[in-house]
Chains A and B, each alone.
Chain A
Amino acid sequence: MVWRAVLSALNGRCDVEYALHLLIIFEIWALLAVGLDLMAGRLGVVTLAHAGYFAIGAYGYAIPTVALGWSGVACIMVGVGTATLLAAAVAVAADRLKRDFLVLATLALQVTIYFVIILWARADAPLASWTNLTNGSQGIAHIPRPEAFGAPLEMEAAFALFSTLVVMPFILLVWAIDRSPWARRATAIRDDELALRALGKDPRQTRIEAAVVSAAAAAIAGALFAAYAGYVDPSIGALEQSVLMLAMVVIGGLGSMRGALTGAAVVVGLPEILRFLRLPEGQAAPVRMMLFGALLVLLIHLRPAGLAGRYRLS
């Protein structure tokens, strides 16, 4: 909070709105990171499908609210339901795949979701009709925010409160799971799956459970993003988003909640810091990606467990 206030002061507009904006964006990424870390960090399952689940959450929120006028909170569940069912199905189907092959399978899922979003569209059909589910590359605009007490959460503070009320319980849930015997079993699967199976324990069930919780986190984050930004297009489900998400948890530190939250802070904070360098519009994005790449390479050499990862001190 302190450095955010400092940053906003630097920008010459020390306003609460800006801090709240950063808080909301951070919460969205934090939820995503914490969920992803359960798979990538705890279970050691590298997945490239998370931008897909994020997009499903976002479109699951956007389509029914815009086209059908459903209430926002119910629509979060639409995305979460779709994403978790898909994640469970993929976890069951892909369970025989190991390492590189599993990464390829998640990549295939990611690309499939992305192209379904782009291609399930027709310019002359209304949104959410059978021929035009998603509006394609045009995206969906004017997404309403969820309502509370009969009024949409238009104020930044109200939305920040709402997103905190959604994100915090989920992060606490993952935190609790991460301290239960479930995490012990998951870590054992990551370390030596064969040995755990010899103890009579089926790793498949644990992997499905992790995939479901993780996809639910990504979908909720996506729904919050759609509600907050008011606009979604297929680029939120693009492959580079998945790579960025994975880079986020690796930079922060795999296998610990502290690391996941640090990674989210880096993803949110880095563009904000760059903003103060006042780079020309066209250069900011490439510079950001370069810095991200450089950070990743430096970390692999200097702090392989991530900025705030688990360090073995014994």
Chain B
Amino acid sequence: MDTLELLRGGFASALSWGHLGWAFAGVLLGTVVGVLPGIGPALTVAMLLPITFSLDPVSAFIMFGGIYYGAMYGGSTTSILLNTPGETASIATAMDGYAMARQGRGAAALTTAALGSFVAGTLATVALTFFSPPLASMALRFGPAEYFALSILAFTAVTALLGGSLARGLFSLFLGLALGLIGIDQLTGEARFSFGIPQLLDGIDVLVLVIGLFAVGETFYQAWHHGRDPVEAVALQTFTGMSRDEWRRSWRPWLRGTAIGFPLGVLPVGGSVIPTFLSYAVEKRLSPHPEEFGRGAIEGVAGPEAANNAAAAGVLVPLLTLGLPSSATAAVLLAAFQQYGLQPGPLLFSSRPDLVWTLIASLYIGNVMLLVLNLPLAPVWARVMLVPRPLLFGGILVLASLGTYSLNTSMLDLVLLYAVGAISCVMRVHDVPLVPAVLGLVLGPLAELQCRRALAISEGDPSVFVTRPWCAVLLALAAAALVVPPLVKRRLS
């Protein structure tokens, strides 16, 4: 049977009013729980799984699809409206999304995020349907050397995010890199910079940094900056959708975001940081008005949101074709599949085609549901900007505490959260960009680990970085990203 036939079989078993109801419930629950800072997709899916246990496999799988995409999408709403990304995937969205919301264009930002997620999710699911096996075997050619090169390429995205001052941008970056040093050295098991505190052995959770820098930092800064002065209310745009111009500026970033996000999701490269920031950097480079970025450029929302959802679909490629859970969320999904006697692995497609194709069909359905749910809600959510500030910031702090504490049930994390919040407030006062710190914390350990793994495998021979073709190409791209733009600028001026 060919793929289309199988897919139709999947849809046949997935499409009934009852199943659509479960898909809707899954998307709703995933979005609602995923909205909360700190409760990322992995925890959302893990928490919601017991709900699916009492269902039959088809209903349960349809609900998984909904929960998975819903949880991936949920983070962008708070990111855009409150500048409080709850997970790494939506930081890039916050930069321009929040600026748009402050200008009363929150609904447009949410709409482009929802549409971008839908476009990217659907295209990526199509790619998943038809090209999984060749993509998965290509991903296997990536070894530690290539992952090192990829993280170096991602570092070049930082240059797009440094803000006005090189010194302050680098300070932020190195702060993140230094925080990333804390914890057990994965290769030797040796504790580094943990100062004898056992909770620091696993390093600083990136979510603690993200929530502290953004949600808590924003609250502190608002208290410092505006205090009790009456702040003029945000004038919501009466026109709630996307303007013609915003459509025109959104569709290319959606497609580019998909093209960047999907392959990087297939590669087990650790979450959505690299795809979302690469997409942001690419959009800023290609934009005819890069000065708008950071001040509400819609491309800066459309691209990363698409990249995020495309990556989420990409993660399913190695999971379904090779049985490789390449992210924490995928590992939780794997456990869920096993509840239904499904062993993801190379034989999955041949042993249980009925369930696999139902799952794939339910991914399409979940994507449509996501759009159905979130498009009409965008103008409603945008009204969050009208909630009185005392209640808004009180609520943000409570949810930030809840999410952070429940990450590891750790008081130290909570103390760190507020310490980071205080640091973030000082950084904002002195106009130091926050995002390079997050990139440093995420990418620094990745680059170091993969570099040392590659060198261990080659027994210390550094030529692996140039003799392996993919690695050499990626490193050349990274060098070009650093060197070419200043050269072009000089030539023009």
Do the two chains bind?
no
- Point out residues on B near A: beta carbons under 8 Å: none
